[in-house]
Structure 1
């Protein structure tokens, strides 16, 4: 089961370092003992954890880690909530998912579910929850908040088996060595970074958690901690590459996902990380891994997301072109639904196809389809062109209402090229009906996951176009 390997490492290599954060170095023994103690405290404060959903919003990443494993090792379902959400957004999320308990750093007045502060939990004393023998691979253990970049967030529930099978597939694909030092560059309330942390601990690697998530802070940690594996979203990697730092030869493996990594950025990446293999993976909270691409060895177009992961089957719906995926990694349903089961297949919402060599190509998203002048246009295709311009740092494309065209294709971008220069660049690479109306911005609204917040970006565009910003 997820988390059981920690007890094994605590028994065999108790003094070795499991987690580093700030000035703290947490051994396997200390990690295991803290998790068990936190589980006892939770049970004393809230009763048995077995198959109960326990949501938590905590600032300290070590406390997030302890809480996650305490819930899971007691047979419960851990639901990390973004600690940066305001009280109204948190209440909406809790109302829709209905966890049995919500734990936060401070009191949560108006919480729609029973709540405790972390201090109240740590003051309690009790006994361990359900032993591991009472729950199995098909039981639920984790609820992931989907990113909500285009809609309301949901809690995506997962079984132990879905992650254990993902770990198994990863071992076949990514070239991990023994005793890696892995820098997790994002927050553990985001499923991508929590998964990376749990996976690395599962195989006995040392996890390094950043104090600051800025490019300078991440770069300093890479050097000071002699990081060998970098786990990051493409936005963070591009931020790192946009700052002038010396090469980092200790990094031998970069794993990135959550959004598209563009091959045009490879030369900068390999100059900065000369010893590193760069693997981009494609997937979602509902599907986990679908495909992966080794950018060091495989040349591919910007729409290619690599070869299908081991144990994954994918096909396109004949009528819509939507990608449908089958694998043992699939989620078990959304919190708030009447019953949970692992679906046999998941429609991804992406428009894609698999070629004869097993490479997957994604051309857009159903939800990001723009109907302009009667033609279907996908935002991602245009974003790929915009971000391929050497002076553009970020870009987001969306449709805005237009009384004549139905929807006008609009884009916000950051970087130094003037709008006229960027439009000329687009005209050389796109048909006329796909040329977006571009506006330059100082920055794009972002989600905690590191992805662009499309809903807020559209509002920002409208404000800029009216001269309100």
Structure 2
């Protein structure tokens, strides 16, 4: 491979290149934290506060309650919840009793939900009352035996709980839950269960802790099997990278959803591992986040680029003191340089770009937080993580500086895809995970993602990487957000199209943006079409949905056909 692994030369002295990872139940993170920091605040949720001691007792109770519903070691339990205390209680309760957590997006529609529940064969789901109607519609198509229902109001203090109920009722959100044997109220289940001490032994390297569904490297939703060892290793790797973090003292701003594996590892698992406090936000709102950082003096704020963009452009941002922020890692999409520099100037903290994918628990690379870093790079591999750039077709390792497919190997790499051995074999080869991302490595061991292999634009035979064009567009002072993709062109095969959101009050034209790009890009990379939008379609964590934009373009092309 790359001989002496040049990235090791840029490890801070505080970070060991290799770490000894424990081989126990992932749920033991909470048992250990409650033992070390029993009175430390574990959760702050809109005025509700819960210590580690209280969180562990509640998790023991829900474990006992789920056991009473028939949960057995290895059974799958779906959690369809936003960031709220119930999510964390249920997560650890399932793990402590040896179950497998199936994280489920609360925004899923009936078809998506049915597919995931059917594939995972989950026997229990824990969800919100306002989501219950969707679950009820698909229940008969799945293996569900029990539905545990809660409400955001269950963990809100008075009078916020009453106000929440009135608000949801006025918005026409259905809070009715039938009184039938297979449906249970979360708070009632806790009340009638016992806090029996439990933390079942597991084979950490083989037993699955989490089934996390992803489009992965092929675009088909698959269940990624992450073991207890995978998730423990990545949690500890992440914590060592944050080597200045103070045990029992850090305040984590949790706006990134914990049902996404990025939030799960760098927020939930990492916070509990070091005895930190999680300030939970059920959804991201830039103004609420600004208020929350000032009020709670948050120190660590992992997020997606769109979150930092929203804060940078919030007109009230400078009215709030957010200088408590010390460390932020951005994931899920590329981080534009302008966004990084503006956010660091605003907070005085460090914002670095990292890289990962669900199949790697998810983090494999990151820039140094307080040491040598390269803006625009995804950084260097984590401890015990190998990385290489290869020819996608032959698997041949490519020289420094050449573009190819990024492959990774390490303790955080998944066991495989749930019930999909052929898909597993396609991306796991001799322990190496083929990421589907095109990138390169420089002479110092820093890696750069050029783009997804599937997003590559072929314009008249020339390769165009969307990220390169997007970086140029972000340099324009009137551009707030931008995404680039290839659209069908009768002459060039594909041509470059940019979707742009202007900054508030800006009036830059299509011609001006194209001229701006012409001064900085080769002719074949210049967008030929610019479409202005008020917003871009995004996932709940703020990742732009290129697929949706592409589908819209395909639909337009079809409508134009005679």
Q: Give the structure-2-normalised TM-score.
A: 0.77
How far does residue 114 in structure 1 lie from its aligned partner after superposition?
2.7
- Structure 1 partner of 2:223: 155
Q: What secondary structure sits across from 1:231 in the alignment?
A: coil
Any conservation in 2 of the 1:280–1:294 contact (CA below 8 Å)? no
- Structure 2 partner of 1:52: 75
Aligned partners of 1:72, 1:352: CA distance in 2, in Å?
36
2:148 paired with 1:118: yes
Q: 1:268 to 1:296 in 2, by over 3 A?
A: farther
Counterpart selection for 2:66 from 21, 29, 42: 42
Aligned partners of 1:90, 1:383: CA distance in 2, in Å?
33
Counterpart selection for 1:452 from 497, 521, 544: 544
2:112 paired with 1:82: no
- Structure 2 partner of 1:396: 483
Q: Which runs of 5+ in 2 are unaligned?
A: 1-24, 150-182, 394-403
CA deviation string 1:181-226 (max 9, x = no partner): 1101222221111222121111111111125511101100000111
CA deviation string 1:226-272 (max 9, x = no partner): 11111211110111011132242211112221111122233311221
- Structure 1 partner of 2:374: 300
Any conservation in 2 of the 1:97–1:336 contact (CA below 8 Å)? no
Aligned partners of 1:135, 1:286: CA distance in 2, in Å?
20
- Structure 2 partner of 1:171: 239
**The 10-residue stretch of structure 1 (100-109 or 395-404) with the greater mean CA deviation from structure 2:** 100-109
Any conservation in 2 of the 1:184–1:207 contact (CA below 8 Å)? yes
2:29 paired with 1:5: yes
- Structure 2 partner of 1:408: 495
- Structure 2 partner of 1:335: 418
What pairs with 1:359-398 in structure 2 (closer than 5 Å)?
Answer: 359-398=446-485
- Structure 2 partner of 1:67: 90
Q: Give the structure-1-normalised TM-score.
A: 0.91
- Structure 2 partner of 1:267: 341
Q: What secondary structure sits across from 2:379 in the alignment?
A: strand
2:392 paired with 1:309: no
Any conservation in 1 of the 2:27–2:199 contact (CA below 8 Å)? no
Q: What secondary structure sits across from 2:108 in the alignment?
A: coil
How far does residue 171 in structure 1 lie from its aligned partner after superposition?
3.4
- Structure 2 partner of 1:243: 314
- Structure 1 partner of 2:208: 140
Any conservation in 2 of the 1:169–1:309 contact (CA below 8 Å)? yes
Aligned partners of 2:101, 2:282: CA distance in 1, in Å?
23
How far does residue 93 in structure 1 lie from its aligned partner after superposition?
2.4
Q: What secondary structure sits across from 1:51 in the alignment?
A: coil
Q: 1:463 to 1:386 in 2, by over 3 A?
A: farther
Count the aligned residue pairs. 465
Q: What secondary structure sits across from 2:486 in the alignment?
A: strand
Aligned partners of 1:46, 1:294: CA distance in 2, in Å?
46
Any conservation in 1 of the 2:385–2:409 contact (CA below 8 Å)? yes
Q: 1:319 to 1:453 in 2, by over 3 A?
A: closer
Q: 1:466 to 1:273 in 2, by over 3 A?
A: farther
How far does residue 71 in structure 1 lie from its aligned partner after superposition?
1.0
Q: Which runs of 5+ in 1 are unaligned?
A: none
Q: Give me the CA root mean square deviation.
A: 2.7
How far does residue 440 in structure 1 lie from its aligned partner after superposition?
0.8
Aligned partners of 1:108, 1:291: CA distance in 2, in Å?
41
How far does residue 56 in structure 1 lie from its aligned partner after superposition?
2.4
Counterpart selection for 2:41 from 5, 11, 17: 17
How far does residue 325 in structure 1 lie from its aligned partner after superposition?
0.9
- Structure 1 partner of 2:289: 218
Give the strand-richer structure, 1 or 2.
1
How far does residue 335 in structure 1 lie from its aligned partner after superposition?
2.2
- Structure 1 partner of 2:364: 290
Aligned partners of 1:134, 1:95: CA distance in 2, in Å?
25
Any conservation in 2 of the 1:102–1:114 contact (CA below 8 Å)? no
Any conservation in 2 of the 1:261–1:280 contact (CA below 8 Å)? yes
CA deviation string 1:287-317 (max 9, x = no partner): 2222111477546353x21122221111111
Any conservation in 1 of the 2:327–2:369 contact (CA below 8 Å)? no
How far does residue 129 in structure 1 lie from its aligned partner after superposition?
10
CA deviation string 1:49-102 (max 9, x = no partner): x12222221356221111111111111110110011111221122233333443
Q: 1:460 to 1:413 in 2, by over 3 A?
A: farther
Any conservation in 2 of the 1:104–1:118 contact (CA below 8 Å)? yes
How far does residue 281 in structure 1 lie from its aligned partner after superposition?
1.1
Any conservation in 2 of the 1:43–1:129 contact (CA below 8 Å)? no
